[in-house]
């Protein structure tokens, strides 16, 4: 592994994870239980990529080529006896190549994308910031491991994208944007004025 490329375990899901966002997961496949154990032991993240064709269990046909790493913040036993984990998105990456390891785990060679610049939330987007603040307060349990940056344009746009009921492919397009203001512009029309 060098500074540009890393090899990480990939967890293909029907979800789009953003840096700084929460990801609760219910783990039931042995390969992912082993992955969680290894990530916790080695204090390493795993990569989340959107499934474009296929299912979460079993083989995956196609995934997006841009994803986000996830760090495990907490783990617990669910009522059904399965492993539950709470993760937080960390950093966007681009997938260079993928393969399946002997244990069935999807692995990927990735290159890390530059973090979006921290930028104050411009005044014309204040209502989006207020909407995110209310939603995060209402979903306090889900956002308990997430640092809050209600005045940051990238953070507000990312939270709004994960909260809005929009198509996963549209969320993926918004993830792949590297301009926080362009993301906010795209979201502006989706949030009703009060």
The model's pLDDT over 29-59, given as tens digits with 9 standing for 90+, comes to: 888 888 999 999 999 999 999 998 876 666 6
Of residues 157, 191, 189, 192, the one with CA closest to residue 176: 157
Task: Please report the sign of the dihedral spanned by the C-alpha atoms of residue 60, residue 61, residue 64, residue 66.
Answer: positive
Task: Report whether pLDDT(194) > 60.
Answer: no
Query: Top-level CATH class of 123-188?
Result: mainly alpha
- For the entire predicted model, the pTM comes to 0.90
Radius of gyration of the chain from Cα atoms? 17
Task: Report whether pLDDT(81) > 90.
Answer: no
* From-to residues of CATH 2.30.130.40 in the chain: 5-112
CB-CB contact of 65 with 95 (8 Å)? yes
* Burial class (CB within 10 angstroms; exposed 0-12, middle 13-18, buried 19+) of 166: middle
Architecture of the structural domain at 5-112: Roll (2.30)
CB-CB contact of 121 with 101 (8 Å)? no
Other beta carbons within 10 Å of 94: 15
pLDDT, tens only, 159-175: 999 999 999 999 999 99
* From-to residues of CATH 1.10.4060 in the chain: 123-188
The residues near 33 (Cβ < 8 Å, ≥ 6 apart) are 27, 83
**H or E stretch at 26:** strand 22-27
């Amino acid at each position: 592994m060098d500074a540009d490329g890393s090899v990480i375990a990939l967890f293909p899901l029907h979800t789009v994870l953003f840096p700084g966002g929460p990801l609760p997961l219910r783990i039931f496949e042995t390969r992912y239980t082993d992955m969680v154990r290894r990530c916790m032991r080695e204090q390493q993240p795993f990569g989340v990529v959107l499934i474009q064709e296929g299912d979460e269990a079993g083989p995956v046909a196609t995934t997006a080529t841009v994803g986000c790493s996830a760090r495990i913040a907490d783990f617990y036993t669910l009522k059904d006896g399965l492993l539950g984990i709470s993760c937080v998105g960390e950093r966007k990456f681009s997938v260079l190549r993928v393969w399946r390891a002997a244990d069935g785990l999807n692995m990927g060679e990735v290159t890390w994308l530059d973090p979006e610049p921290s930028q104050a939330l411009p005044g014309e987007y204040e209502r989006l910031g207020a909407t995110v603040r209310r939603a995060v307060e209402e979903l306090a349990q889900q956002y308990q491991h997430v640092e809050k940056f209600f005045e940051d344009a990238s953070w507000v746009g990312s939270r709004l994208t994960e909260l809005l009921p929009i198509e996963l492919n549209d969320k993926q397009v918004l993830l792949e944007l590297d301009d926080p203001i362009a993301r906010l512009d795209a979201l502006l029309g989706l949030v009703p004025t009060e």
